[in-house]
Amino acid sequence: MQPDEPSTPTPIQQLIRLKRYEQPSDETLEGFVADFRERQRREMLNQSARGLLWERVTTYWENLSATPKWGIAGLVGAAAALLLWFGLQPAVETPVEGGGLAENATPAAAGGEKERFEVDAMLISVGDTEEATTEAPFFLSRHNDGGFVDDQREQMADVNRTPGVYLDSPGEFATRPLKKTTKQRAIPRSE
Amino acid sequence: MSEPIHHYPDIEDAELVALAQEADTRAFDELVKRYTPKLYGLVYNMTSNREDTLDLLQDIFAKAYRSLRRFMGKSSFYTWIYSISVNMTLNFLKKRGRHYKVSLDDVDTGIQNDPEFVKITTASGGPLREINIHELQKRLNEAMMRLSEDHRTVVTLYDIQGLQHSEISQILGVSEGTVRSRLFYAHRQLQNYLDDFVK
């Protein structure tokens, strides 16, 4: 059984109740509201813009009812996951007009002003890495042998024989993806 | 269009809360005015230090203001603000530890006319006849501070502030039985500490 308090106060309760007479002065209580207002203003001024933004976001979030709140959270999560997934995908190399690649094309380039590409830039995507590392020594040795320029010319001739594909210079040829050029070049050499 | 003119002291708590939730700062000021004396008594009797009490009260009202939008009106504002105050005071006491400075308010001279005080001091030549008010205040304060924080809370709310068991139960989030039990043991301890006054 729980001990219960009697309805009439005991002497010890009467004694403790005398603490009610300990009170702050009237000025203390009157000044308190003014102090509180001042402190609120000071805090507002000292709060950083980021802090205010965070407070607004959390307040907005708290005001949402339960269902839309978690619905929005789900949507945001799904969008973040999609963005992450696309971000981790290997770059797709799609030739575009002007000799560049779709992933490098900008609206300015598409609109008329030609994008300037680095001629020597090697465009190696994730899928090409292994092939590139095995073929790089071959190119280097071919270059040291003095056969690289010839190869380029030979290949230009091959490519130009393909309907609809015309290249003007070795420099332009060099902007082609490494994967295609190595295959085209490697086969005749090995024979 | 001009805003309606309110006479804030006449407005009920619930309406003041609704106005404050719509960014009416004067409505919240009225709530602060209304609850400062009550909450001051609560925090002061828990901490025994008036400077700490005023600082803590500022924090309590600031916290209440920031959380006001979350207040759904499931309990009364009275219960809600008391809960915030008790929790923040208990957290403060934990941080403060045992080393603190006592700083007491003056005792209102009205105590000398209080029937209870008169009764105690005149009853069968008790020891209170021989001590002055300040000594009594010191002894009562020492006895209160020797209680555990949970026991001190219920004694403050029930005996000094005059709240009902059911209200204390809501504020502390414990059963009424727990409140009664804590009170019982707290009174027993106080009886031991102040034995010479209540024989």
For chain B (length 199 residues), average pLDDT per consecutive 10? 74 93 91 94 94 94 91 91 96 86 79 75 59 82 95 97 96 96 96 83
Nearest neighbour of B180 by CB, restricted to A4, A21, A39: A4
What pLDDT shows up at residue A29? 84
The DSSP letter of residue A113 is: S
State the average pLDDT over residues A154-164: 57
- Residue at B116 is within a domain: no
What whole-number distance in Å separates Cα of residue A151 and Cα of residue A184?
10
Query: Do A62 and B69 make contact, defined as CB atoms within 8 angstroms?
Result: yes
Q: Please indicate, yes or no, if residue B113 is contained in any of the structural domains.
A: no
B120: its two tokens: 């105690």
In a domain, B122, yes or no: no
- Length, in residues, of chain A: 191
Residue B115 inside a domain? The answer is no
- What pLDDT is stored for residue A108 in this prediction? 47
Q: Alpha-carbon distance A80 to A77, whole Å?
A: 5
Query: Residue B110: its pLDDT value, please?
Result: 79
Residue of A nearest to B109 (CA): A21
CATH, residue B32: 1.10.1740.10
What average pLDDT does this structure show over A82-88? 87
B137: nearest CA in chain A? A19
Nearest CA-CA distance, residue B62 and chain A, Å: 7
Q: Which pLDDT score, from 0 to 100, does residue A86 have?
A: 85
Q: Confirm if A175 and A114 have CB atoms less than 8 A apart.
A: no
The residue with greater pLDDT, A154 or B25, is: B25
- Residue in A15, A24, A36 nearest the CB of B61: A36
Same domain, B37 and B83: yes
B75 shares a domain with B148 = no
Contact B36 A12 (CB under 8 A): no
CB proximity list for A27: less than 8 A, separation 6 or greater: none
| H helix or E strand, kind and range, residue B137 | helix B133-146
**Are the beta carbons of B68 and B28 closer than 8 angstroms?**
yes
> Are B19 and B3 contacting, i.e. CB atoms less than 8 angstroms apart?
no
- In this structure, of A37-41, A106-110, B127-131, B158-162, the range with the lowest mean pLDDT score is A106-110
Q: Are residues B27 and B100 in the same domain?
A: yes
Comparing CB atoms, the residue among B36, B104, B180 nearest residue A22 is: B104
Q: Which residues of B touch A39 (CB under 8 A)?
A: 58, 62
Answer yes or no: is B180 within a domain.
Answer: yes
More confident call, B170 vs A56: B170
Confidence of residue A111 (pLDDT cuts 50, 70, 90): very low
Domain boundary among B105, B138, B167: B105
Q: Provide the pLDDT confidence category of residue A66 given band limits of 50, 70 and 90.
A: low
Q: In CATH, what number is assigned to the domain containing residue B156?
A: 1.10.10.10
Cα B192 off chain centre by: 23
CA atoms within 13 A on the CB side of A132: 12
pLDDT of A172 over the 50 cut: no
| Gap from B7 CA to chain A (nearest CA, Å) | 17
Task: Mark which of B72, B105, B138 sits at the end of a domain.
Answer: B105
Query: What is the rounded CA–CA span in Å between residue A134 and residue B126?
Result: 105
Q: Shortest Cα distance from B96 to chain A (angstroms)? A: 22
Q: If residue B34 lies in a helix (H) or strand (E), which one and from where to where?
A: helix B25-47
Do the Cβ atoms of B54 and A25 come within 8 Å? no
B24-30 long-range contacts (CB < 8 A, ≥24 apart) are B25/A37, B28/B65, B28/B68, B29/A33, B29/A36, B29/A37
Q: Are residues B68 and B100 in the same domain?
A: yes
Find the largest Cα–Cα distance for chain B: 70
What b/e string do you get for A48-60 counting C-beta neighbours within 10 Å, with b at 16 or more? Answer: eeeeeeeeeeeee
**Does the pLDDT value for residue A162 go beyond 60?**
no
Given a cut of 80, whether residue A37 has pLDDT beyond it is yes
Per-residue model confidence as pLDDT tens digits over B172-194: 999 999 999 999 999 999 999 99
Q: How far apart are CA A66 and CA A63, in angstroms?
A: 9
Confidence of residue A140 (pLDDT cuts 50, 70, 90): low
Q: Is B161 in contact with B38 (CB distance < 8 Å)? A: yes
- The whole-angstrom separation of Cα A78 and Cα B135 is 69
Within 10 Å of residue B129's Cβ, how many Cβ atoms?
Answer: 11
Q: CA-to-CA distance for B97 and A167, rounded, in angstroms?
A: 83
What residues contact B96, with CB distance under 8 A and at least 6 apart?
A: B47, B52
Mean pLDDT, chain A, whole residue set: 66
**CA nearest to B140 within chain A:** A16
pLDDT at A3 over 70: no
Q: What is the tally of structural domains in chain B?
A: 2
Calculate ∠ Cα B148-B151-B152, nearest 5°. Answer: 80
Same domain, B98 and B18: yes
Position B154 in a domain? yes
Assess whether B48 and B97 both reside in one domain: yes
List the one residue out of A31, A28, A48, A51 whose CA is nearest residue A39. A31
- Tell me, yes or no, if the pTM score tops 0.95: no
Q: Do B84 and B168 sit in the same domain of this protein?
A: no
* Single-letter code of the amino acid located at B22: E
Q: What is the pLDDT of residue A63?
A: 62
The distance of B87 to chain A (nearest Cα, Å) reads 20
Q: Is residue B112 part of a domain?
A: no
Q: Which of A5, A10, A29 sits opposite B36 (nearest CB)?
A: A29
**Domain range for B47:** 12-105
pLDDT exceeds cutoff 80 at A4: no
Asked if A16 and B29 come within 8 Å (Cβ–Cβ), the reply is: no
